[in-house]
Amino acid sequence: MIRLNTNINQHATHKPIILIMIIVLLCLNHSNAIAQKSCLQSLEKAEMLYTEGKLNLIPDLLTNCIKKGFDYEQKVRAYELVILSYLYLDNEKDAANSMLDLLKFEKEYTLTGREPTEFKKLYEAFRTYPIVMIGINLGGNASLITHNELYGVNNPSPDSISYSFEPGFKVGITSDFQIGKHILFSSEINILSLSYSYTNHLYDFTQYDLREKQTVLSFPLGIKLMAGNKKIRPYVTLGTSIDILLKANLHIIRTFPNQPVIDVTGQDVDVTNLRNEFNYHIYAGAGFKLKVPRSFLFFEAKFSKSQLNQVNENNRYGNTELIYKYGHIDNDFFINYLSISAGIQYNIYKPKILKKYFYH
């Protein structure tokens, strides 16, 4: 019975506190509603004063409500009225400061085309494009192999070997830095999966087929030249990438066509130590960006040409299993690849005035 009475007393003690909190919240909501109504009336009055030409009264009328009291659309319109008032009063400094405040509030503010010439000139004097675009990309690739000197236990010829492309994928982080109205500096950090197939006919009675899969950490750096409007922006890109090999594995099988001999195969062979750890590519490509709120969606296709031999020449004969079990010795070869990717980039803005402007 004592425990029950204690709970009842505690519940009774908390009841007034809850009621007080509810009353306070209701009062705050009522106060906010009154403030919003008052600011809406101020905006309507400012519109009337602008029509009547009483421009000097508008900034003071709207300042407090701009700080706190307007919703999004009302705040943008209030900034526009203040800027126009300062412009027609020949107060260029305050007009520019108010434009900067507007662009900081609405970073993707754009002109409708109905603005007065003075307003357009002031807007165009500011940097209104994003300075940094950062996001993610993912896509696929196809490896295209080129080779020069051939090696093998059978003195291979170009007619006895063949390379085939295999699909791979890419995923990574991408960033663009605006260094001009139509020029971007681009950088990425990507994880690539590169694959290819290789067939070598040994003599007249056997052959082997292998598939190599590489995992590569890639750092592309380049320039994008962009055109178009604010909605769709096509571009071309040129650059280079520094690549670090993380892992390379071979799956290989030796067969004896038309011979009563069992195929020779086994577990995948780690050939990372047979490859050069570092490589670099030169790439060229094209793509486009599609504007969405606060971001860009993008699609891009690139061709990357390898500049270094894949094979570590000091370790070419380092794996005896490949040589004696399968008859394989690496040729000097290069992995080029065609990649297609898509992604999204978030825009980071830092508006500022870029040039001197004139109104008269």
Summarised one tens digit per residue, pLDDT across range 287-319 is 999 999 999 999 999 999 999 999 999 999 999
The amino acid present at 343, given as its one-letter code, is: G
Summarised one tens digit per residue, pLDDT across range 193-245 is 999 999 999 888 899 999 999 999 999 999 999 997 778 999 999 999 999 99
Helix (H) / strand (E) containing 5: helix 2-52
Task: Give the per-residue pLDDT at 37.
Answer: 66
User: Are the C-beta atoms of residues 336 and 146 closer than 8 Å to each other?
Assistant: yes
Q: Would you call 241 helix, strand, or coil by DSSP?
A: strand
Summarised one tens digit per residue, pLDDT across range 86-108 is 999 999 999 999 999 999 999 99
Q: Would you call 123 helix, strand, or coil by DSSP?
A: helix
pTM for this predicted structure: 0.81
State the DSSP string of 188-243: EEEEEEEEEEEEEEETTTEEEEEEEEEEEEEEEEEEEEE-S-SSEEEEEEEEEEEE
Q: How many helices (H) and strands (E) does the chain have?
A: 6, 11
Residues in contact with 353: Cβ distance below 8 Å, sequence separation at least 6, in sequence order = 96, 100, 125, 126, 127
Summarised one tens digit per residue, pLDDT across range 151-174 is 988 888 888 999 999 999 999 999
**Residue 17 binned pLDDT confidence (cut-offs 50, 70, 90):** low
Q: Please compute the mean of the pLDDT values over residues 7-36 and round it to a whole number.
A: 53
How open is the CA angle 244-332-154, to the nearest 5 degrees? 140
Task: Give the per-residue pLDDT at 25.
Answer: 55
Distance CA 35, CA 31 (A): 6
Residue 14 has pLDDT above 60, yes or no: no
133 closest CA partner among 256, 287, 244? 287
**Residue 30 binned pLDDT confidence (cut-offs 50, 70, 90):** very low
Residue 20 has pLDDT above 80, yes or no: no
Task: Give the per-residue pLDDT at 27.
Answer: 46
Task: Give the per-residue pLDDT at 8.
Answer: 47
Q: Is domain 132-348 annotated with CATH 2.40.160?
A: yes
- Tell me the domain boundaries of the chain: 31-124, 132-348
252 closest CA partner among 347, 352, 325? 325
Distance CA 291, CA 298 (A): 9
- First CA to last CA across the chain, in angstroms? 88
62 closest CA partner among 85, 46, 86, 80? 46
